Structure 1
Amino acid sequence: MPSEFSIRAATAEDAPTLAALNLACWRETYEGLLPAETFAALTLEERLDHWRGAFQSSGSRVALAFDVDGAAVGFTHWRAHEFVLGGRLGRGGQICAVYLRRAVQRRGLGRRMMRQMAREMRASGCKWASLVVLRDNLPARRFYEALGGRRFGRELSWRGVPQIAYGWRDVAGLAAHQ
């Protein structure tokens, strides 16, 4: 049975699509979680600049998801991160973004995109993965926990809004998660 969604690697030419999708997802996700002045600063132009910069940055990997009609409905963004732990050099995946339009959530696409992202991380030599999420974004936190993500570190802040970090010690487990 064919999937109702397709996923492909995004390119610099997708920056306008990503900017519009990013803005729409933020408005659906963060209304009531972010201060009004933060919402006022969310513009298509700012997001377009962000995505153009992401594609110029070495190591950024972005995937776009589309519905059967070809409408962009979700995206992921990650990059590899080098670290030293116990005197040894390692490599992990920093998940920068996982967003789906509300209308397509809870249909397996998010899990599928997370698995695909984890497989890419593993293929690039990453051993672990991490991300930060708004503390009060409970649906996202439950999603990451259902995929085996564990909270770690201290509470962070973004524009005065509390955030927490989640991580996967073994990206192979995330890649295989059903």
Structure 2
Amino acid sequence: MTAWRLAPLTAERVPALAACHIASWREAYDSLVPAHVLAGFDLDRSILTWERRRAGGAHRIPVALAGAELIGFAAASAHELDALYVRRAWHGTGVADALIDAAAPDSPCTLWVFADYPRAHAFYRRHGFADTGVYRVDPFTLLPEQLWRRATR
């Protein structure tokens, strides 16, 4: 497998990040999220959304690159991890660990995670997160989510 590295999100990398985001959702949630929801992603809209986040400056958005290919990314604001996605081929390689450390190095931090996603639950537990008991329905998928929190490490 090709070596990977972390880099900051630049304007030139935003389209690749948007494509990685969509592909990662389809890979990770293919048995959880209804197919019509996964099929409904719009690359151009995603590019605009991620460019706004990048340009706004309120998020740390490291990306993982294998050569020139963008294989994962994370996005975090001051106290919330908003996104952490890694392409399936790179699961278990340490990419996600490095991304979460780069995007959300400080405690405390919160995140929302699908209630029925044990793989993510195990990953976040390893990083010091715990379920708070707060639930909501994700407006995009209509699936239940849990609020998790990481205390001071």
Counterpart residue number, 1:76: 74
Kindly indicate whether structure 1 or structure 2 has the higher relative contact order, using CA contacts under 8 Å at least 6 residues apart: 2
- The one-letter code of the counterpart of 1:133 is V
For 1:101 and 1:71, locate their aligned partners in 2 and report how far apart those are by CA, in whole Å: 11
Number of the residue aligned with 2:36: 37
Q: Could you tell me the TM-score, scaled by structure 1's length?
A: 0.78
Q: Give the match's secondary structure for 2:24.
A: helix
- Following superposition, the deviation at residue 71 of structure 1 comes to 1.4
Amino acid at match of 1:20: A
AA in 2 matched with 1:55: R
**Count of residues paired in the alignment:** 150
Q: Secondary structure at the match of 1:61?
A: coil
| Structure 1 residues 154 and 74: CA distance shift in structure 2, 3 A | same
Cα distance in structure 1, aligned partners of 2:68 and 2:81: 25
Question: How far apart are the structure 1 equivalents of 2:70 and 2:47?
Answer: 16
| Whole-angstrom CA distance in 1 between matches of 2:123 and 2:91 | 11
Contact 2:73–2:85 at 8 Å: present in 1 too?
A: yes
The residue aligned with 1:88 is none
1:58 Cα offset (Å): 3.7
Identity percentage of aligned residues:
26
Q: How far did 1:7 drift?
A: 0.1
What is the CA–CA distance in structure 2 between the aligned matches of 1:143 and 1:79, rounded to whole Å?
20
1:106 matched to 2:92? The reply is yes
Deviations 1:1-48 (A, max 9, x none): xx9220011123321111111111011011121123322321212211
2:61 is the alignment partner of 1:62: yes
Whole-Å Cα distance in 1 between the matches of residues 38 and 97 of structure 2? 28
Runs of 4+ off more than 4 Å: none
**Structure 1 unpaired stretches of 5+:** 81-92, 174-178
User: Hey, what's the Cα distance between the residues in 1 that align with 2:121 and 2:30?
Assistant: 17
2-structure distance, mates of 1:48, 1:113: 20
1:165 aligned to 147, 150, 153, which one?
147
Q: Distance in 2 between matches of 1:109 and 1:36?
A: 27
Please say if 1:21 is aligned against 2:3.
Answer: no
The DSSP-based 3-state class of the residue aligned with 1:76 is: strand
* Larger gyration radius, structure 1 or structure 2: 1
Higher strand share: 1
Counterpart residue type for residue 143 of structure 1: F
**CA-atom RMSD, angstroms?**
1.7
TM-score, length-scaled by structure 2: 0.89
Superposed, 1:83-162 pairs within 5 Å as 93-119=79-105, 122=106, 127-159=107-139, 160-162=142-144
